[in-house]
Amino acid sequence: MNIDSIVKGIENGDHLSISRAISLVETNCVNDNVREIISRIYHLTGNAHVIGITGPPGIGKSTLIGRLSGMLHDSGKKVSILAIDASSPFSGGSFLGNRIRMQEALSSRGIFMRSLANRGISGGISRSAWDVVKILDAAGSDVVIVETVGAGQADLEVRNLVDTVIVVLGPGLGDEIQAVKAGIMEIGDIFIVNKIDREGAFLAIKDIEDTLAMSPGKKWHIPVLGLNSLNGEGYQDLLKVLDQRWDYISGDPGFKDGRLLMELRAIVQNTLLSRVEESFAGKNAFSRTISGLSDKTTDPYSAADRIIGKIYLKGD
């Protein structure tokens, strides 16, 4: 594995090198090769507007992303897309087939797209997604679009990964509006009512606006837009709002600090867990500990402290 060529390829925006790096990350996001790649490209990150798009399945997120990414590309921006799937990308299901066709269409325009399995991680975000976004950012992307699995409340975690969260809903779907009120409202920076040509669209917009009005105190004024992905209605307004959002983010040097803290915590947790598993691989320490828990000669907190302590003390 030639890490030098992969890193150089990422710096040059080479799609093959980007794909190879992402494959490494997806296989094992804490191995030495991944660490080296991220370490060497990290100084190039922080320039892309990372946009998360979430909402219920079947609401038209993929169609929206296809049209939006094309318009951003035509405006002179370099766009990359990360689509996080609920199941393995090797399942061969019809949903993946739609993704592959979309990927081929975008690739013909020079837009990089990659699907990533969330591997059962709650929150709609794969554990490796943070590093993949860094790779796409370092490769010179002006905009990185992250599409989540669309799992309602579980998609709240996207807030920790992106600069701007777009919540996509549809007209005449009361359960979706109730889901917004139940919690997802707190993460949305832009709300979209898709398929605005359908009955009930403007009532849905009004309902969301009324709900937002009951949640004062946000510095960013959260817009609610109506879109029609078939004829492009409302997309110019969305582009304008995204530019305003980027200006808002760029004017706040500490905006990303909270996300950096969340990521650092996740990396520390993953690294500690990985080291625990490596330290006790092939040993019966865990089985002995489980026996102690079973017969109540120890408790879970004491057992965990002893396991962690042995790692730091380099004990057996």
Rounded CA gap, 143 and 200, in Å? Answer: 32
Rounded CA gap, 102 and 122, in Å? Answer: 26
What are the start-end ranges of the H helices in 75-173?
Answer: 94-107, 129-138
* Residue 68 structure tokens: 């939006």
Helix 94-107 crosses helix 61-74 at what angle (to 10 degrees)?
A: 10
Residues 6+ apart with CB under 8 A from 263: 130, 160
Which residues lie across from 168 on neighbouring strands?
A: 192
User: 227 with 233: CB under 8 angstroms?
Assistant: yes
Catalogue the long-range contacts made by 108-112 (C-beta closer than 8 Å, 24 or more residues apart).
Answer: 109/70, 109/73, 110/73, 111/69, 111/70, 111/73, 111/79, 111/80, 111/81, 112/15, 112/18, 112/79, 112/80, 112/81, 112/136, 112/139, 112/141
What domains lie within the chain, and their CATH numbers? 45-254 (3.40.50.300), 260-312 (no CATH)
Side chain identity, residue 144: V
Closest to 130 measured CA to CA, from 144, 149, 109: 144
Side chain identity, residue 281: A
- Give, for all 316 residues of the chain, the pLDDT tens digit: 699 999 999 999 999 999 999 999 887 666 789 989 999 999 999 999 999 998 887 788 888 999 999 999 999 999 999 988 755 444 434 345 556 667 767 877 889 999 887 554 444 455 688 899 999 999 999 999 998 866 544 456 788 889 999 999 888 655 555 555 556 677 889 999 988 888 888 888 888 888 788 776 677 899 999 999 889 999 999 999 999 999 999 988 888 888 888 888 878 887 777 777 777 665 666 777 888 888 889 898 888 888 777 766 654 4
Closest to 181 measured CA to CA, from 171, 167, 162: 167
